Amino acid sequence: EPEVTQTPSHQVTQMGQEVILRCVPISNHLYFYWYRQILGQKVEFLVSFYNNEISEKSEIFDDQFSVERPDGSNFTLKIRSTKLEDSAMYFCANEGTGSTDTQYFGPGTRLTVL
Amino acid sequence: GEDVEQSLFLSVREGDSSVINCTYTDSSSTYLYWYKQEPGAGLQLLTYIFSNMDMKQDQRLTVLLNKKDKHLSLRIADTQTGDSAIYFCAEREVDSGNTPLVFGKGTRLSVIA
């Protein structure tokens, strides 16, 4: 099965610091997503990205968040000034362009904001 | 908006069948998915079904869809201890291209040896 990888697996940061979460997608899968899961809660959609621009974003994805593909391969999520409530598992997902394609998820990055 | 609901816990004995239930609200054409999350791991796609189907079977997994009641179930036959995990139901609209998934809270399946 195709594999999405994410780094780091766990990130601990102080409130107000910037963090960058990284995702290595499946080759030739051109749709990218970020989701998050606060402990004990639902997996929530943050943002989708295609053709080097944001396709859709949720209410959670405010000005503190940004996404990019800095080198045309990796896909990153940046949180500029972290808050305590940003503590969560962050999942990257990747999808091809076929009509029946599905989203493949990475193992997640656990972000802890102190 | 779309919403997906699941029961939070299920406990079964090894060798029995497990049935995990899910309800959804979206009324348009939709794909419905089951993902599995083992401790410390990501979301593993198990199976999916399109809303014009009633049933899909894949080895030990059977998905049943009741469109009238918007009810989806995942049956795991001959449940093993390795099936212990959280199972997420998710849906997405298909009319408007590559859309995000909407997840339920997940059902924690515990398999007792």
Q: What average pLDDT does range B25-33 have in this prediction?
A: 81
Q: What average pLDDT does range A71-88 have in this prediction?
A: 92
Q: What is the pLDDT of residue B11?
A: 97
Q: What is the pLDDT of residue A79?
A: 97
Give chain A positions within 8 Å (CB) of B93.
Answer: none
Q: Would strands A10-13 and A109-113 be described as parallel, antiparallel, or unpaired?
A: parallel
Query: What is the SS3 assignment for B79-92?
Result: CCHHHCEEEEEEEE
Q: Would strands B9-13 and B107-112 be described as parallel, antiparallel, or unpaired?
A: parallel
Report the 10 Å Cβ neighbour count for B46.
17
What integer best gives the mean pLDDT of chain A?
Answer: 90
Q: Which residue of A has its CA nearest to B86?
A: A40
Q: What is the pLDDT of residue A100?
A: 62
Using an 8 Å Cβ cutoff, are B63 and B74 in contact? yes
Q: Which two tokens stand for residue B106?
A: 């997940």
Q: Indicate whether A109 pLDDT > 90.
A: yes
Of A4, A95, A107, the CB nearest to B41: A107
Element (H, E) at B55: strand B55-58
What integer best gives the mean pLDDT of chain B?
Answer: 90
Q: What is the pLDDT of residue A101?
A: 67
What is the DSSP code (8-state) at residue B72? E
In this predicted model, what pLDDT tens digit does every residue of A23-63 receive, in sequence order? 998 877 788 999 999 988 889 999 999 888 899 999 999 99
Q: Which two tokens stand for residue A32?
A: 């990218």
Q: Indicate whether B85 pLDDT > 70.
A: yes
Q: What average pLDDT does range A82-108 have in this prediction?
A: 87
Give chain B positions within 8 Å (CB) of A101.
Answer: 98
Q: What is the pLDDT of residue A54?
A: 93
